[in-house]
Amino acid sequence: MKRSEYVAIGAIGLLAVATVWPLIQTAPPENDPALNKGDGFQSLAFASLAECKDAQIVTEAICDTEYAKASMASVEDAPKFEALKDCETEYGANQCRPATWNGASVYIPAMAGVLIARSLAGAAAASQPLYPPRVGPQSCPPGVSAIDRPECQSRSAGGGGSSRSSYYSTGSGRTISRTAGAVAISLGLPPRTAVSRSSVSRTGSSSSSPGTPSRSSSSTTTSHSTSTTVSRGGFGSTSRSYSSSGS
Amino acid sequence: MQRIRLTERPDWRMKAESYGFPFHTIGGEVYWDESIAWRFSLREIEEDLEAPTGELEQLCLAFVAEAIKHPAILTRLGIPEMYWSFVRESWQRGDRNLYGRFDLAYDGKTPAKLLEYNADTPTSLFEASVFQWSWLEDQMAAGGLPAGSDQFNSLHERLVKALRNIRRGQHFLLHLASVADSQEDKATVAYLADCARQAGLETKELPIEQIGIDSGGQFTDGDDVLIRVLFKLYPWEWLFKEAFGRHLPAARTQFIEPPWKALLSTKGLMPMLWEMAPNHKNLLASYFADDPRCASLGDRVEKPLHSREGANIRVIRAGAETQSTPGDYGGPAIVQALAPTAEFPGGHAIIGSWVVASEPAGIGIREDAGLITRDTARFVPHFIEGE
């Protein structure tokens, strides 16, 4: 991928996490338990490390590595919320956990599984964390068809360890469904609200309390040395002759 | 490389404003234009733009290492002698740089050619880094572009990382200064301040006019706080000649961009690079205007060493001036061979190829009616087609 994995700005918080999963985007949306064909990759969803190993589809070593990679990636990847209740509104009760991101305390949905893509040609594999399905009001606006938005039917399904039909979401808000007994996945549409719901607008900017989301303005100058200014205005005169100092 | 028409997002103006990008329309004219997009193949991006950008940056760094040793070069580039040690020491100390933008002529057929390097105060950053990025995500989500499309644009990620590394991971207060009455400059600075906060730094924005000096010759802000690290969206060549310029060498401020960037943010760089690497596939033949070799150039462009936003530029074809722009910039000039740019009915496009901490970081495209890209140019998004 040649673009940023996420973009956040103070004005509105996290814009979005890039849809980093080209394998998902190109896989056919069908519940074929054998394979998602067509691009030389097989995409597999597992609810836990143990389930990955038990399934014996990829080697235990791949399960270990990819699960670890997904866990490590999950703080960066997951939508972030300043308050626990906002996260739970989106993902359901007891589905969120605290985390530290760039020095700020945030809440993120707890990892509910891992999506592993393995190359059918060789040993190459990639993974990304999966989260509980989004149950928040934004996910299921009134009148939206459950065919388009499978998560609307799955409020109680959770992403947990069940081997029956279950739903997950990705960091970018895409829905992943996994059908009974099978590990193949099908793909829901991305949410209509492509801009993330995250409410984290700022990330750790205060030296005195790293780990606390800052709500104050950016000019916390308490700990900085001051001096006595004897003269001002010695810079800026040239700009008055021109329209811009940028280029 | 292909220019295509695309349906605009119905809500893009509202989005732009909520993102803090109010100058999407300037003087009633559209500046951000998403009715058009440029499509690239991954090969074009990686081989024709990304790799040459990395190579050009290395060439520039090699030039700085050489230039600081030669008074003749420093003189030719117009660096006042009182700042020679200041510039030299910033390089020898390894002062880190943040970003820069190479303007490239590229038509998809022949190698990209460097027109100039905006190494010191580049703008059009937010639209390239953020708004272009979210445009692609929105287009893919809405089905306007195929899922699996990509974009050469890791600007945001790299800026956050580079800002964190400016003081080798230490926490610090970053002051960011720009001209008080320029909204566009202020927006660039606000975005960089935002990136800095995401990197865990404290930030404070201020008008450059507000900077003060204390009795010990140290720079202060409007609240008398000492300025230790200063991002200045204000050209070195202006700082050098203004009243407080004489305090620069003794101040213990770390500057972003560092003083050694003064050697690169001049069109005088073009003939210098050509001399260092003659016939490099990504360089255009260039000479200082007083060099007799200018006569050998054929169709050519004349530019003052320090003009901005396409001011005071003359295009000469078949011995006659075919286009020129007004402006207030004079002084020494260079002459550069005319490069083939991407053409479309009614205009030309040039590629702004970004580096962050000297690594290639993405592109932004600007289109303008004539051969000269001015402040009237429109910013047009791009994407890379899926494999």
CA atoms within 13 A on the CB side of A231: 11
Collect all residues of chain A within an 8 Å Cβ-Cβ radius of residue B159.
none
Mean pLDDT lowest among A85-94, A170-179, B86-95, B170-179: A170-179
pLDDT at residue B280 in the model: 97
pLDDT at residue B223 in the model: 95
What is the Cα–Cα distance from B217 to B246, expressed in whole angstroms?
10
- Provide the residue count of chain A: 247
Looking at every residue in chain A, the average pLDDT score rounds to 63
> What does DSSP assign to residue A70?
H
Question: Which residue in A8, A15, A238 is closest to B241 by CB distance?
Answer: A238
CB atoms within 10 A of CB A107: 24
* pTM of the model as a whole: 0.71
Average pLDDT over residues B36-45: 97
What percent of chain A clears pLDDT 90, i.e. is strictly above it? 6
Helix, strand or coil, per DSSP, at residue B347 = strand
CB contact under 8 A, A218 and B148: no
What percent of chain B clears pLDDT 70, i.e. is strictly above it? 100
pLDDT tens sequence across A186-220: 444 333 222 233 333 333 333 333 333 333 333 33
DSSP for B126-187?
HIIIIIHHHHHHHHHHHTSS-TT-B-SB-HHHHHHHHHHHTTTT---EEEEEE-TT-HHHHH
pLDDT at residue A66 in the model: 84
What is the Cα–Cα distance from B286 to B301, expressed in whole angstroms?
9
CB contact under 8 A, A246 and B122: yes
Q: How far is A85 from chain B (nearest CA, A)?
A: 23
Question: Which residue in A205, A210, A221 is closest to B197 by CB distance?
Answer: A205
pLDDT at residue B210 in the model: 97
DSSP for A158-224?
-SSS-SSSEEEE-TTS-EEEE-TT---EEEPPPPS--S-----------SSSTTS---S-S---TTS
Question: Which residue in B18, B118, B208 is closest to A235 by CB distance?
Answer: B208
Collect all residues of chain A within an 8 Å Cβ-Cβ radius of residue B138.
194
**Radius of gyration of chain B measured on its C-alpha atoms:** 21
Two structure tokens written together for B1: 């490389």
Largest CA distance in chain A: 77
Looking at every residue in chain B, the average pLDDT score rounds to 93
What is the Cα–Cα distance from A244 to B328, expressed in whole angstroms?
12
pLDDT tens sequence across A159-192: 333 334 467 777 766 666 665 333 444 444 333 2
pLDDT at residue B214 in the model: 96
What is the Cα–Cα distance from A60 to B374, expressed in whole angstroms?
59
ipTM of the complex: 0.91
Average pLDDT over residues B267-271: 96
> What does DSSP assign to residue B383?
E
Q: Find which of A129-138, A142-151, A180-189, B17-26 is predicted with most confidence, using mean pLDDT.
A: B17-26
Average pLDDT over residues A22-49: 48
Could you tell me if B201 lies within 8 Å of chain A, comparing CB atoms?
A: yes
Query: Is the pLDDT score of A158 beyond 50?
Result: no
pLDDT tens sequence across B113-129: 999 999 999 999 999 99
Collect all residues of chain A within an 8 Å Cβ-Cβ radius of residue B151.
2-3
pLDDT at residue A186 in the model: 41
Collect all residues of chain B within an 8 Å Cβ-Cβ radius of residue A234.
211-213, 242-245, 247
Query: Is the pLDDT score of B356 beyond 60?
Result: yes
Question: Which residue in B20, B123, B239 is closest to A235 by CB distance?
Answer: B239
What is the Cα–Cα distance from B5 to B313, expressed in whole angstroms?
31
Could you tell me if A162 lies within 8 Å of chain B, comparing CB atoms?
A: no
Question: Which residue in B20, B136, B242 is closest to A234 by CB distance?
Answer: B242
Q: What pLDDT band is residue B254 in, cutting at 50, 70 and 90?
A: very high
Average pLDDT over residues B165-170: 77
Query: Is the pLDDT score of A63 beyond 70?
Result: yes
CA angle B60, B65, B70 (to 5 degrees): 110
Q: How far is A163 from chain B (nearest CA, A)?
A: 29
pLDDT tens sequence across B211-235: 999 999 999 999 999 999 999 999 9
Average pLDDT over residues A146-164: 41
Q: For chains A and B, count residue pairs whose Cβ atoms are closer than 8 Å.
A: 230
Query: Is the pLDDT score of B77 beyond 90?
Result: yes
End-to-end CA distance of chain A: 29
What is the Cα–Cα distance from A24 to B319, expressed in whole angstroms?
57
Helices (H), chain B: 12-18, 42-43, 51-67, 71-76, 84-92, 125-126, 132-142, 155-165, 183-198, 236-241, 269-276
Question: Which residue in B134, B197, B375 is closest to A202 by CB distance?
Answer: B197
Q: What pLDDT band is residue B286 in, cutting at 50, 70 and 90?
A: very high
pLDDT tens sequence across A76-89: 878 888 888 888 88
CB contact under 8 A, B247 and A234: yes
pLDDT at residue B10 in the model: 95
Query: Is the pLDDT score of B302 beyond 70?
Result: yes
- Residue with token string 């590595």: A65
CA atoms within 13 A on the CB side of B195: 30
CA torsion B292-B296-B302-B303 (nearest 10°) is: -70
CA torsion A19-A21-A26-A28 (nearest 10°) is: -100
Question: Which residue in A18, A227, A245 is closest to B235 by CB distance?
Answer: A245
Query: Is the pLDDT score of A21 beyond 60?
Result: no
pLDDT tens sequence across B364-376: 999 998 777 777 7
Closest chain A residue to the Cα of B206, Cα to Cα? A219
What is the Cα–Cα distance from B200 to B161, expressed in whole angstroms?
10
Q: How far is B137 from chain A (nearest CA, A)?
A: 7
Could you tell me if A208 lies within 8 Å of chain B, comparing CB atoms?
A: no
pLDDT at residue A160 in the model: 39
DSSP for A125-154?
EEEEEEBPPP-STTTS-TT--TTT-GGGG-
- Residue with token string 């050519």: B300
Q: Tell me which residue of A27, A16, A4 sits closest to A185, measured CA to CA.
A: A27
What percent of chain B clears pLDDT 90, i.e. is strictly above it? 74
pLDDT at residue A17 in the model: 56
Could you tell me if A3 lies within 8 Å of chain B, comparing CB atoms?
A: yes
Could you tell me if B336 lies within 8 Å of chain A, comparing CB atoms?
A: no
Q: What pLDDT band is residue A13 in, cutting at 50, 70 and 90?
A: low
- Residue with token string 């690290």: B229
Q: How far is A8 from chain B (nearest CA, A)?
A: 8
Within chain A, how many helices (H) and strands (E) appear?
Answer: 4, 11
Could you tell me if A234 lies within 8 Å of chain B, comparing CB atoms?
A: yes
Q: Which of B238, B253, B267, B312 is the best substitution to test chain A (most A C-beta atoms within 10 A)?
A: B238
